[in-house]
Amino acid sequence: MQYLLSVVHDGPSPEVAEEQAAIDVFNQQMKDDGYWVFAGGLGMPTNATVVDSRGEQPVITDGPFVETKEFLIGFWIIEAPDLDVALGLATEGSKACNRKIEVRPFL
Amino acid sequence: MTAAHRSEWARVVASLTRRFGDLDLAEESAAEAFAVAVERWPVDGVPPNPGAWLTTTANRKAIDRIRREAKRVGKHEEADMLYDPEPPPSLGVVEDERLRLIFICCHPALAPESRVALTLRMVGGLSVPEIARAFLVQESAMGQRITRAKAKIKAAGIPYRVPAAKDLPARVSGVLAVLYLVFNEGYLATDPAADPVRAELTGEAIRLTRLVHGLLPEDGEVAGLLALMLLTDARRTARVSSSGELVALEEQDRGSWNADLIAEGHRLVRERLAAARAGTAPGRYQILAAINAVHTSARHAADTDWSQVVTLYDQLARLDRSPIVALNRAVAAAELDGPAAGLAAVDRLADALDGYHPFHAARADLLRRLGRRAEASAAYERAIELAGNSAEIAALARRRGRLFPDGPATPAG
């Protein structure tokens, strides 16, 4: 199964160098163990733009679609046999990036 | 039928879940097989091996369901590939199966109330209306809760297996938390509309904990929780008076305690004490069981070995720094050091426990013993406001009433 591990940012602190180093180690381990599919870090929500093209004219708005204190700051997509393995990886990932992680299965 | 239902249900659901990998299908097919048994056994007689009969019948029902579903979506070939049930696996394997079932129902990725409901349904074999009644929830809401939990198990890929050794202690502790919650809800219902003590829930919790103890006999905390439940449940009938009031431990008729349950609980505690002497540090359930063993060893309340109780609470406080443990320790220590020292210790917990009714009840008792009646009355009043259990409220009201035997309390000053 594939899971999306969403990294939730809920504090004022931006990423520090030690976190990046820990994340690199974790990423390499995931690749070595065959769980890695894809990963990415995201820019701040203030730099987001929302496009709504359900009407006749596309509407383009500045900012995230919903203002929240918690927001997505990065993610991993992993291949894991079951939720216990995914939760184990999320436990290590959360420690590495010093943020909480939401684990969600792909359909 | 009830006896067969209780003891075979979990085996049938577990073996079907393993075979078909589908909890929903396992539950529905097991329920169908049990319904057939209810209809047929009184007429045809109970089969020589009821468990095997139920498993075989449930297997056939499951295959029928899969065939019907496959035909509905036009997959005749798959449907035709399904044959008769495979031979029942050996007993050892079956035992493992039930353990898997317990672990999947108590998985930490499920909401705590869903874990309780799912465990009672899948492992305990209680019907959805029974569980809904036990927790005073609408039947449809309880049904939905169970359905949602099963859907998450499937969609999120929660595995059907006993956790890896490194995860086992944490996962077992999750299972025990679910069982203890079921027991406590039966032993002291939190809802004023419920019966104050519900033996069906305490009985079910004990039955399931016995099952887990049988499956994990080496686990000290499982044994500890079982002992704790037995020693608590042994006092059940002495705990509510004929007029429906909760009777405090020191006022209970100790002769009406269940001697068999106490003997079994004491035996388990002794085993754990031996393990502790051999170097296995006891966890919280074992310590709580030992405290209850001290209480149930005293023929009269006055014979209670309070210094032993205080020592055990000190040990518990090292594992669990919660103010509730500190409160219980303070109440026990008051028996050794007197009510004034006890009150001072209890008052230090005021900030943390202001919303917790046993805190105010304990304060009230200590104030009463110190002759500070007006303050005691106010503390009983606060405990009554916060308590949810009808028998407990009745007992608190009686104790408050006894402060002023000549009439209602008049506020001091």
Are residues A105 and B155, on separate chains, in Cβ contact within 8 Å?
yes
pTM, 2 dp? 0.83
* Encoded tokens for B210: 């016995």
Average pLDDT for chain B: 89
* Encoded tokens for B377: 């009355």
Angle at B172 between CA B196 and CA B116, to 5 degrees: 40
Q: Where in chain B is the domain with CATH 1.25.40.10?
A: 321-413
> Mutate which of B106, B158, B161 to disrupt the A interface (most A C-beta within 10 Å)?
B158
Average pLDDT, integer, range B341-359: 95
Look at residue B128 and tell me whether its pLDDT is greater than 60: yes
Single out the residue of B181, B159, B163 nearest to residue B171, CA to CA.
B163
Residue B240 has a pLDDT of 86
Residue B413 has a pLDDT of 45
pLDDT classification of B2: cutoffs 50, 70, 90: low
Are residues B156 and A84, on separate chains, in Cβ contact within 8 Å?
no
Residue B381 has a pLDDT of 95
Residue partners of A23: CB distance under 8 A and separation at least 6? A96, A97
Average pLDDT, integer, range A48-62: 93
* Encoded tokens for B89: 């696996």
Residue B16 has a pLDDT of 94
Contacts of B109 in chain A (CB under 8 A): 83, 87
> What number of C-beta contacts closer than 8 Å exist between A and B?
28
Residue B77 has a pLDDT of 64
For the domain made up of B321-413, give the CATH fold.
1.25.40
Q: What is the pLDDT of residues B311-337, one digit of tens each?
A: 999 999 999 999 999 999 999 999 999
CB A15 within 8 A of CB A88: no
* Angle between the N-to-C axes of helices B357-369 and B373-386, in degrees from 0 to 180, rounded to the nearest 10: 160
Look at residue A91 and tell me whether its pLDDT is greater than 80: yes
Query: Is the CB of A106 inside 8 Å of chain B's CB atoms?
Result: no
ipTM value > 0.90 = no
Q: Residue A38 forms beta bridges with which residues?
A: A77
Single out the residue of B33, B166, B24, B29 nearest to residue B104, CA to CA.
B24
Residue B252 has a pLDDT of 92
**CATH class for the region spanning A2-105:** alpha beta
Q: What is the pLDDT of residues B59-68, one digit of tens each?
A: 999 999 999 9
3-state secondary structure chain A: CEEEEEEEECCCCCCCHHHHHHHHHHHHHHHHHCCEEEEEECCCHHHCEEEECCCCCCEEEECCCCCCCCEEEEEEEEECCCHHHHHHHHHHHHHHHCCEEEEEECC
Residue B184 has a pLDDT of 87
